[in-house]
Amino acid sequence: QSGYITLDPGFKNTGSTESAITFLDGEKGILRYRGYPIEQLAEHSNFIEVAYLLINGKLPNRHELDQFQGTINRHSLVHENMKLMLQAFPAHAHPMGVLSSLMASLSTFYPESQNPHRAPEMVNLTIIRLLSKMPTLAAMAHRNSSGAPIMYPKNSLGYLENFLYMMFGMPTEEFSIDPVIVDALDKLLILHADHEQNCSTSTVRIVGSSQANLYSSISAGVSALWGPLHGGANQAVIEMLENIKADGGNIEKWIDKAKDKDDSFRLMGFGHRVYKNFDPRAKIIKKAADDVLNKLGINDPVLEIAKKLEEIALQDEYFVQRNLYPNVDFYSGIIYRALGIPTEMFTVMFALGRLPGWIAQWKEMTERKEPIGRPRQVYIGENVRDYVHMADR
């Protein structure tokens, strides 16, 4: 404490807002979107319906859902100049960097971004544009690195089929996608859709609190998500599992490395700021990983290493004492890999899933007219001192 300032690095014990969107109970491993348990939504709902629920606060009836889906489909094209922008990026550019740049540039194409008063109908149009164009931009980010031609969206396809078509389709071939892949992806995106005030959502809120437009706020969220301690963990998990596999499957050696204070290596996909028993999403994703690999007839040795690593870590005192359990990122990469998603696109998949949550949180913050975010600090620098002229230095 210093005067009236309470220092709380990482905001571990600070509530930044009141929200009616997502409920988490870290002790009991509970996650609900607008009161609906994540287990039921993952089982019975679909990603577009969950997006509607998060943003509008209720499950849509048939007419509302059809209208929402139909409107989204009709905004999936992006300005042709964005293809020229893509040519400016090097082929090795990480898709998250390309995506955050393209998302930020959306605000230069749409006049409503400059509308400081954000009339509700303009906000709704921006929301539809974001939901509709992000999959197009995400697929463009992938095509930039693969060198394949950009695929234009097809409005006759569903939301996820359209994304997979833009990711993997070719102008020279007919396109078909295994429904197992679409169902698995749908479930994964539902599980990633919101998670209360995590790092990237707090970033979206604080950027939006300055009344920056929603496109720029979402672009900031994409950048925050990229970090390996946050959404970038799903890519880091697969790289870690591949390293363990290359190292002869020597799991104990890598667990010791993660426990070694002198070694910066952490067990990626383990631990969570809020969940101190288990991440309910990890339980669902672990089962889905088994289902998808069985249905697709894939035997991925990396999945076996992941299960073995989890088993050993959960019996290791270091991890038990610190309440370190697999989180949402531990198994998700194994499914993305089975679906043919390239490793560097895993965090882009996380961003696609989290988009409705970011939008819902920004909308709630805006509607509640919350003040600009501006934390204080405890100063630990130099005391007052006079300027020293160059001749005297």
Active-site positions read 272, 329
The strand pairing partners of 36, in sequence order, are 33
Q: Which is nearer to ligand SDX, 75 or 273 (CB)?
A: 273
Estimate to the nearest angstrom the gap between the alpha carbon of 358 and the chain centroid.
Answer: 9
| 300: its two tokens | 């991925």
| 28: its two tokens | 């009991």
Instruction: For residue 131, give the amino acid letter.
Output: L
Q: Which is nearer to ligand SDX, 160 or 233 (CB)?
A: 233
Q: Least distance in Å: CB of 122 to ligand SDX? A: 28
Q: Which is nearer to ligand SDX, 129 or 192 (CB)?
A: 192
Q: How many CB atoms lie within 10 A of CB 18?
A: 8
**Cα(167)–Cα(155) distance, rounded to whole angstroms?**
15
Q: How many CB atoms lie within 10 A of CB 150?
A: 15
**22-25: strand order across its sheet:** 22-25, 30-33, 36-37
Q: Least distance in Å: CB of 112 to ligand SDX? A: 28
Q: Least distance in Å: CB of 157 to ligand SDX? A: 28
| 41: its two tokens | 């939504």
Q: Which is nearer to ligand SDX, 261 or 393 (CB)?
A: 261
The CB-nearest residue to ligand SDX is 271
Residues that bind ligand SDX (CB under 6 A): 10, 195, 198, 229-231, 233, 258, 266-274, 322, 324, 327-329
Q: Least distance in Å: CB of 80 to ligand SDX? A: 34
| 257: its two tokens | 């490395």
| 325: its two tokens | 């359990």
